[in-house]
Amino acid sequence: DTAVSQTPKYLVTQMGNDKSIKCEQNLGHDTMYWYKQDSKKFLKIMFSYNNKELIINETVPNRFSPKSPDKAHLNLHINSLELGDSAVYFCASSQYGTSGSFGQFFGPGTRLTVL
């Protein structure tokens, strides 16, 4: 069973379009994240969400919005796509707090290419 899944794996689209990436976890975790990996392979947090609190990285444009229909899902909506949005987007999940031995579990990534 896949712990954290993302769809689609690849997304190619035109500038100006609106697109969504879906993420689901079956680990029973209560906190989910979206990360962006740029062309230089550097990872950066975009959002974290634990069904009560949304923490937004202030550098993320408001064209990006997370939507969580329930605790197991955190989708990423992107409006008016720009060339600079091309990247690999990773979803991850964890249990709230880090005092235990649980790390973060990552999805396989979605490679977004904006033409």
Partner 1 sequence: KNEVEQSPQNLTAQEGEFITINCSYSVGISALHWLQQHPGGGIVSLFMLSSGKKKHGRLIATINIQEKHSSLHITASHPRDSAVYICAATEGGADGLTFGKGTHLIIQP
Q: Which residues bind partner 1 (CB under 8 A)?
A: 31, 33, 35, 41-50, 53, 55, 57, 88, 90, 92, 96-99, 101-106, 108-109, 111
**Could you tell me whether strands 43-49 and 31-37 are parallel, antiparallel, or unpaired per DSSP bridges?**
antiparallel
Residue 56 structure tokens: 């937004």
Nearer to partner 1, 13 or 95 (CB): 95
3-state secondary structure of 93: strand
Q: Give least dist CB 101 to partner 1, A.
A: 7
Q: Give least dist CB 5 to partner 1, A.
A: 12
Nearer to partner 1, 21 or 46 (CB): 46
Nearer to partner 1, 19 or 47 (CB): 47
Cβ atoms of 75 and 20 within 8 Å: the answer is yes
User: Cβ contacts of residue 67 below 8 Å, gap of 6+?
Assistant: 74, 75, 76, 77
